[in-house]
Amino acid sequence: MLSARYGLRQGLGAFYLTKEIRRALGNRIGMEAQARDRAYNARALVPDYQRFFDWYACESVGARAELEIVRDLAFGAGPDERLDLFPVAGGPLAVFFHGGWWKQFGKDDFSYVARGLVPHGVAVAVVNYGLAPEVPLRAIVAQARRALGWLRANGATYRYDVERIVAYGHSAGAHLAAMGAVAGPLHALYSLSGVFDLEPLRETYINEWLQLDAAEARALSPLALRPARPLPVDAIYGAGDPPGFADQSRTFVEGWRRLGCEGAVEVAPQDNHFSICARLIDPADVMNQRIAALAFG
């Protein structure tokens, strides 16, 4: 009988699955869930990831000691709505949003990125924001947009060019930078190992703290939205990144190209998800050279 062949038994007028088949289906579902998690789990590929976090923090202390800085500028009423500005009079402005899956780190962990752009004559703002799960993602996006709005409104005070504001970010920070480009005009956008479509994240471990449903995932996905105006969009990811970041970087740039943006995608052959962000300290690095070119372009 077909029922015997496929592990089905009949009872009370209906077929039901045998214990063996239920176990096999459960294993398959579990394996699929693990594969979805692996696509975005950068730490699993870099066992010593903590050394990068320690390096970020240490180099950031040095950057704040060495560079001119205006600390803790309030761009909103919330206690987390602060940014640090590394000014360059008369130059363009690059606004950095940190990663950490919207639930880790703060601006003080990433002051070091200013070292990479200030020597090019580009002012740098490093933005702080509230963290999930205490702060929902829609509120974090609103904070990022307020930061950019505040920076547009205060260029005369701090003497940077508000017509040349570049937003850039790493990982989840690239998502926030892109959402900023949706809300208001920017001069350019630059992503390091970013995520732009939140729907695939709903079935991963990341949704444990994001708690996104389908409607909110779409509303907060830059891939599903239009930029306020067409702009250059560059993305780079590491060859050692999990595949989700590579797929999303390519898909996002292709999607916004269809909306009138110019864009390019590059692969960093020697980098993983964390080393690529560390390169932002070096003024001679090709990423900083590209961001500066976008800012002055």
Q: Domain for residue 10, yes or no?
A: no
Q: Where residue 7 falls among pLDDT bands split at 50, 70, 90? A: very low
Q: At what angle do helices 137-153 and 172-183 cross, to 10 degrees?
A: 60
Sign of CA dihedral 142, 148, 151, 153: negative
Residue-wise pLDDT for 90-136, tens only, equals 999 999 999 999 999 999 999 999 999 999 999 999 999 999 999 99
pTM: 0.90
Distance CA 217, CA 202 (A): 8
The residues, ordered by sequence, that sit 6+ positions from 145 with a Cβ below 8 Å of its Cβ are 179, 180, 183, 184
Q: Domain for residue 11, yes or no?
A: no
Q: Domain for residue 172, yes or no?
A: yes
Q: Domain for residue 232, yes or no?
A: yes
Please state the domain count of the chain.
1
**Boundaries of domain holding 291:** 18-296
Q: Where residue 16 falls among pLDDT bands split at 50, 70, 90? A: low
Residue-wise pLDDT for 65-84, tens only, equals 999 999 999 999 999 999 99
Q: Domain for residue 43, yes or no?
A: yes
CATH number, domain with residue 288: 3.40.50.1820
